[in-house]
C-alpha cells in the first residue's frame, strides 16, 4: 500500500480539498476553502498546512462566530452542496464558534469546525487558554461543541484522522443528518507525522441520494389526499434544499392545493403563484392561517414544524385533522402522529403528482384561496404605501427595498421584529431570494450570513436587513466583505456597502435608530484595506 508521510494537519487539508459531492449527475467541490483567525493552538499546525496549499483558499474573518455564519450562509444558499471549514485557536476562538455551531445544527446546515485543542500528551499542561478540571484530564472548552454538533471527535493520535474524516463527511453530506461537525485538533498532534494511505488523498465524490418514497405509504398518502376536502401544504426549507420548487409548483397547479410557507421554506413557490397563500404560522398571513385552521389534511414538505410554524401546535384546529409529512429525516416525518413519507421532497412530489392524476380541490375551496390572496395583496399594498414618520415604518422600508431589488436578488435577516414583517411582506420571486436564519434567530448572523450568500452567487445582489441590536453585536464582517470585494446592500443600520476599489477608501452609510435617539445619516470612513491571501 502506498503511503505519504505528512503531519496530521497537512493530511487534513489535503483530504478536504479533494472532497466533492454529486447529485443528479452534477459534481461540485464540497469545500470552498477555510475561514479563521490564527492564534494559539492552530497557527503552527493547520495554519502551516493551509499556507502550503494555496489552492485551498484561506479567508481572514474578524470574529470566529462570524466565520461560522459566513459558512452557514454560503452552504444554505448553495442548497447544502458546498460549505467552508472554520479554523480557530484553542480557547476563546473556539468558544466564539459555539453559537454559530448551534445555529448551523438547528437549521440543518453543514459546516466543518476545526478548533485547536490542548496538548494530547499533557506534558506541558496547563497551556495558555486551557480549562483546568479537578475531576478529569480529558476535557477542554471544545467539549462545549458536543451538544451542538451532529458529529464530534478529538484527534488524539494522527492515525485517528483517517477514520474521523470519513465519518465527518458522511454526516456533512447527509440530507437527513447534516449540521455542524466538530473535529477538535490538539496542537501537538497537528504537527505529528504519520504514514497516511495515499488513497485518502485521491478525489472522492460523495453521492447525495434522492430517497424514493415507499410505494405502500405513497399510495396511502394519495388516498388521504383524495379524501380531503380542505388540504393545505406547509412548505419548509427541505423544498428548497431538494431543489423541488418547480415540481411543487406543478403539483399545486394540478391539484389546486394551496401552500403556506415557513420562514425556511419561503420562496418554495413564487409569491404570485395562484396556490401560494404566503407565510404561515405566528408570523403568517391571515389567509394562510385561516386555511390552516380549517384544514382537514396538512401536507408538510421538508418542515420540522417549529413553534412559530404551528403557533405552538394551535394552528391546526379541525378535530379530525390528519398529517402527511414528506421528509428525509425520520425525526420530522413522524411529528404530529403523521403518516411518514420518508423520502426526498422532489422525488416524492413527482410520484404524488403522477398518482393523483385526476384529483383536484373543490371550486368552492379554490374560490376561498383566491379571495385570501386578493385580500392580502391589497393589504400589502396599503402597508407599503402608507407614509409615516420620521422615522419610517418597517413596512415602508421593506416596500422600498423590494421595489429597488431585482427578481433574482436576495434579502437576508435573522432576528428582532423584522423577520415577522419580512415573512408576510417580502415578495419572493425566485428560489433562494429569501434567506432568514430563524431556526435559531441568532442576533449577529445577518451581515456575516449575507457575505456567505453573496459568495455563493455573486451575480445576485444581497440586501441585508438588520436591527440596531444585531448590527452593534457583530458588524465587523463588513470589513471582511470589503477586504474580499463582495458588495452587500443594506437596510436598517446598513444602507449600502460598495465594493472596495484598489487604492481607494470605502464609505458605509449607516442609520442607527433606537428608542433613545433618531440621528441623521452617519458616514463611516474606512481606510484602504489590503487583502491578505
Q: Identify the three-state secondary structure at position 478.
A: helix
Number of Cβ within 10 Å of residue 282's Cβ equals 17
Supply the pLDDT for residue 490.
65
Q: Provide the pairing of β-strand 180-186 with 193-197.
A: unpaired
Supply the pLDDT for residue 492.
54
Domains and CATH numbers, the chain: 3-207 (3.40.50.970), 215-376 (3.40.50.1220), 386-526 (3.40.50.970)
Q: Calculate the alpha carbon distances from 455 to 84, 297, 435 in Å.
A: 11, 40, 14
What is the distance between the terminal CA atoms of the chain, rounded to a whole angstrom? 36
Supply the pLDDT for residue 525.
35
pLDDT tens, 368-423? 999 999 999 999 999 999 988 788 889 999 999 999 999 999 999 999 999 999 99
**Is residue 457 pLDDT above 90, yes or no?**
yes
pLDDT tens, 485-526? 998 876 554 444 343 333 333 333 333 333 333 333 333 333
Of 530, 431, 434, 516, the C-alpha closest to 468 is 516
Let me know: does 359 contact 257? Beta carbons within 8 Å.
Answer: no
Rounded Cα–Cα distance for residues 298 and 132 (Å): 52
Of 391, 423, 393, the C-alpha closest to 520 is 391
pLDDT tens, 301-319? 999 999 999 999 999 999 9
Amino acid at each position: 500500500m502506498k503511503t505519504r508521510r505528512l503531519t496530521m494537519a497537512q493530511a487534513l487539508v489535503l483530504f478536504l480539498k479533494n472532497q466533492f459531492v454529486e447529485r443528479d449527475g452534477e459534481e461540485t467541490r464540497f469545500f470552498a476553502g477555510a475561514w479563521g483567525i490564527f492564534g494559539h493552538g492552530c497557527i503552527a499546525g493547520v495554519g502551516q498546512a493551509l499556507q502550503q496549499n494555496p489552492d485551498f483558499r484561506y479567508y481572514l474573518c474578524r470574529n470566529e462566530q462570524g466565520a461560522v455564519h459566513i459558512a452557514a450562509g454560503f452552504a444554505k444558499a448553495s442548497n447544502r452542496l458546498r460549505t467552508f471549514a472554520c479554523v480557530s485557536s484553542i480557547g476563546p476562538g473556539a468558544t466564539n464558534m459555539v453559537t454559530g455551531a448551534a445555529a448551523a445544527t438547528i437549521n440543518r446546515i453543514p459546516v466543518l469546525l476545526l478548533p485547536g485543542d490542548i496538548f494530547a500528551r499533557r506534558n506541558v499542561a496547563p497551556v495558555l487558554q486551557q480549562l483546568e478540571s479537578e475531576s478529569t484530564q480529558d476535557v477542554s472548552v471544545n467539549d462545549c461543541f458536543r451538544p451542538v454538533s451532529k458529529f464530534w471527535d478529538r484527534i488524539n493520535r494522527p492515525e485517528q484522522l483517517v477514520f474521523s474524516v470519513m465519518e465527518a463527511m458522511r454526516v456533512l453530506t447527509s440530507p437527513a443528518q447534516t449540521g455542524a461537525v466538530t473535529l477538535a485538533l490538539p496542537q501537538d498532534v497537528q504537527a505529528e507525522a504519520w504514514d497516511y494511505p495515499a488513497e485518502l488523498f485521491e478525489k472522492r465524490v460523495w453521492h447525495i441520494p434522492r430517497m424514493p418514497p415507499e410505494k405502500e405509504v405513497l399510495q396511502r398518502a394519495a388516498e388521504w389526499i383524495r379524501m380531503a376536502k380542505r388540504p393545505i401544504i406547509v412548505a419548509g426549507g427541505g423544498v428548497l434544499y431538494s431543489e423541488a420548487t418547480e415540481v411543487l409548483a406543478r403539483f399545486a397547479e394540478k391539484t389546486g392545493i394551496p401552500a403556506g410557507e415557513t420562514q425556511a421554506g419561503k420562496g418554495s413557490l413564487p409569491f404570485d403563484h395562484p396556490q401560494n397563500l404566503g407565510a404561515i404560522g405566528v408570523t403568517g398571513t391571515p389567509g394562510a392561517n385561516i386555511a390552516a385552521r380549517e384544514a382537514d389534511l396538512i401536507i408538510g414538505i421538508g418542515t420540522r414544524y417549529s413553534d412559530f410554524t404551528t403557533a405552538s401546535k394551535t394552528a391546526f384546529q379541525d378535530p379530525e385533522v390528519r398529517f402527511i409529512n414528506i421528509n428525509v429525516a425520520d425525526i420530522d416525518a413522524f411529528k404530529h402522529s403523521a403518516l411518514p413519507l420518508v423520502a426526498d421532497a422532489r422525488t416524492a412530489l413527482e410520484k404524488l403528482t403522477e398518482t393523483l392524476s385526476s384529483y383536484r380541490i373543490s371550486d368552492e375551496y379554490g374560490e376561498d384561496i383566491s379571495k385570501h390572496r386578493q385580500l392580502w395583496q391589497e393589504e400589502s399594498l396599503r402597508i407599503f404605501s402608507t407614509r409615516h414618520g420620521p422615522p419610517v415604518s418597517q413596512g415602508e422600508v421593506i416596500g422600498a427595498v423590494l421595489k429597488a431589488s431585482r427578481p433574482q436578488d436576495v434579502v437576508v435577516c435573522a432576528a428582532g421584529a423584522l423577520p415577522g414583517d419580512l415573512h408576510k411582506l417580502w415578495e419572493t420571486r425566485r428560489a433562494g431570494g429569501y434567506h432568514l436564519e430563524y431556526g435559531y434567530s441568532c442576533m449577529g448572523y445577518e451581515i456575516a450570513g449575507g457575505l456567505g450568500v453573496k459568495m455563493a452567487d455573486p451575480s445576485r445582489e444581497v440586501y441585508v436587513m438588520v436591527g440596531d441590536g444585531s448590527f452593534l453585536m457583530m458588524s465587523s464582517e463588513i470589513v471582511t466583505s470589503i477586504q474580499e470585494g463582495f458588495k452587500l446592500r443594506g437596510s436598517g443600520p446598513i444602507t449600502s456597502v460598495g465594493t472596495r476599489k484598489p487604492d481607494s477608501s470605502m464609505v458605509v452609510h449607516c442609520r442607527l435608530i433606537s428608542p433613545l435617539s433618531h440621528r441623521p445619516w452617519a458616514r463611516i470612513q474606512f481606510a484602504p484595506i489590503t487583502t491578505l491571501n
